[in-house]
Amino acid sequence: MATRTPLMAGNWKMNLNHLEAIAHVQKLAFALTDKDYEAVEVAVLPPFTDLRSVQTLVDGDKLRIKYGAQDVSAHDSGAYTGEVSGPLLAKLNCTFVTIGHSERRQYHGEDEPVVNAKVKAALKHGLTPIMCVGEELSVREAGNHVPHTLAQVDGGLEGVAAESVAGLVIAYEPVWAIGTGKVCGEEDAQEVCGAIRQRIGELYDDETAQQVRIQYGGSVKSGNVAKIMAQPDIDGALVGGASLDAEEFVKIIRFRD
């Protein structure tokens, strides 16, 4: 069975300017030790405008923190005003990019074909997608959270090869738990994350299913992360609000302590 290194990623959303970003990453770097980096992979996902500053800091101080973007264009270059492409992110040595975050789905109308095109664009340029899926409250209340989320997985991965899927990250983020303080119970989170892994096994094969990392996201904090991370199919956390507090994010990273 594959051993999956947990990925603890901080989604800063539209917070922290480039100067604040430098100070924040410095705080994280000062607090984190080799033991932390041996136990988990740590990443920050700042706004686009911070990425060059974060890159300079990470390269200059040879930090082990990884970083990435919160979105990527489906296109490589050209007349797409306001978009940021895979080649531009790859040039900044980004490791990750979140795709299909619920806030992109909600406010920018991103659907499965868009998510699928962006996943392919990221992979083409050597970026690791963190593909976000998850249901709204009404869907959960109707008991349709598993089929709804699996349909997002199917659509997002259509035409993506097994070797690419093995290396990517899927973040299960129930929309009703994002930024609301309502954390999904660990058994409920496991139910969906387990179903996602099973679906990857059906779409691809067992080996791919055992390799893909599945994160939980939605009001993760130091007080609830240990129970979530104890679930067999949860391989990390995508942390929004709580990742803006460096001390709190370090406590989340040290969920085993």
E-strand stretches of the chain: 7-11, 41-45, 66-69, 96-99, 128-133, 169-172, 213-217, 236-239
- Piece of 135-143, 162-170, 194-202, 212-220 that binds ligand PEP (CB under 6 A): 212-220
167 is in an annotated binding site: no
Q: Which one is catalytic: 101, 110, 135, 186?
A: 101
Q: How near is the Cβ of 97 to ligand PEP at its closest, in Å?
A: 13
Does residue 191 have an active-site annotation?
Answer: no
Does residue 173 have an active-site annotation?
Answer: yes
- Rounded Cα–Cα distance for residues 111 and 114 (Å): 5
* The one among 8, 10, 11, 86 contacting ligand PEP by CB under 6 A: 11
* Structure token digits, residue 190: 């496991």
Q: Is position 6 an interface residue for ligand PEP (rule: CB under 6 A)?
A: no
Q: What is the DSSP string of 103-166?
A: HHHHHH---HHHHHHHHHHHHHTT-EEEEEE---HHHHHTT-HHHHHHHHHHHHHTT--HHHHH
Query: Looking at beta carbons only, is 49 or 56 nearer to ligand PEP?
Result: 49
12 is in an annotated binding site: yes
Q: Which one is catalytic: 103, 110, 173, 186?
A: 173
- Rounded Cα–Cα distance for residues 120 and 114 (Å): 10
Which residues are annotated as catalytic?
101, 173
Binding site for ligand PEP (CB under 6 A): 11, 13, 173, 178-179, 217-220, 238-242
